[in-house]
Amino acid sequence: MERDSFASPASAGLQNIRARIQRMCRDVGRPEKSVELICVSKNFGAEEIVPLLAAGQTIFGENRVQEAKEKWPQLRALYPGISLHLIGPLQSNKAAEAVTLFDVIETIDRPKIAVAVDAAMQASGKKPRLFIQVNTGEEPQKAGVPPRELGALLSFCREETRLEIEGLLCIPPVDQLASPHFALLNQLAREFGLKELSMGMSDDFELAIQMGATKVRVGSAIFGERRVKISPTTI
Ligand SMILES: *Cc1c(COP(=O)(O)O)cnc(C)c1O
């Protein structure tokens, strides 16, 4: 078992990130169980993911519905108990597929998507957990609801759909300090009584834990650099 868990560079990376999360939780006096590590496997294939599954990692994130569909049904058949998170933008014509593929959809960001996900959930009987993505930097090219429109979107979900929103996700602008964005997301979650905060990636997950993250999304610090570079404007 011990040997298996170091069977690839990625599984060594995983142990390292888990240890850093543990240490940061201890340093800031949070229970270790209060932070979940989402291992972001976009652009990596089954051969790179399997060692992590063998090492006991069960929570993964993908940013594209199509890519998740190509990889995860087979992996799920081999490893039960996987929780797969959609962390990339969702189009309404992909809502039905997203609802069947993912256990958590973190990127609801407008009424049209909320309606499509609601309809897909009713049709399929599936009930993924749901977060709203907030565009804390109000970047025009980035998905997410602007902070001042979050209240209206939450009201819409509550009044016009059956969706239960549990938390918020943000991706701070690449060229800015992350802390004001993490603070804003935390403040919005408190204001609206939401428990889950998905924030923090390879470069800033420890800061995010200090600032209240309940999910951190870590890819390259586990797997190494992605072969195809995803432009920061599209993530
Ligand atoms: C790719 C991606 C991540 C992981 O980024 P790393 O810097 O490789 O850790 C986290 N969140 C989202 C939304 C992503 O698209």
Cα of 83 from ligand 1 centre, angstroms: 17
Question: Which pLDDT tens digit goes with each residue over 98-110?
Answer: 999 999 999 999 9
Cα of 197 from ligand 1 centre, angstroms: 15
The 3-state secondary structure of the chain, one letter per residue: CCCHHHCCHHHHHHHHHHHHHHHHHHHHCCCHHHCEEEEECCCCCHHHHHHHHHCCCCEEEECCHHHHHHHHHHHHHHCCCCEEEECCCCCHHHHHHHHHHCCEEEEECCHHHHHHHHHHHHHHCCCCEEEEEECCCCCCCCCCECHHHHHHHHHHHHHHCCCCEEEEECCCCCCCCCHHHHHHHHHHHHHCCCCEEECCCCCCHHHHHHCCCCEEEECHHHHCCCCCCCCCCCC
What CATH number is given to the structural domain containing 73?
Answer: 3.20.20.10
Residue 1 lies in a domain: no
Range of the domain at 19: 9-223
- For ligand 1, whether the C-beta of 63 sits within 6 Å is yes
The pTM (predicted TM-score) of the whole model is 0.94
Residue 52 lies in a domain: yes
Q: State how many domains the chain has.
A: 1
Residue 171 lies in a domain: yes
Residue 191 lies in a domain: yes
Question: Which pLDDT tens digit goes with each residue over 11-62?
Answer: 999 999 999 999 999 999 999 999 999 999 999 999 999 999 999 999 999 9
- For ligand 1, whether the C-beta of 83 sits within 6 Å is no
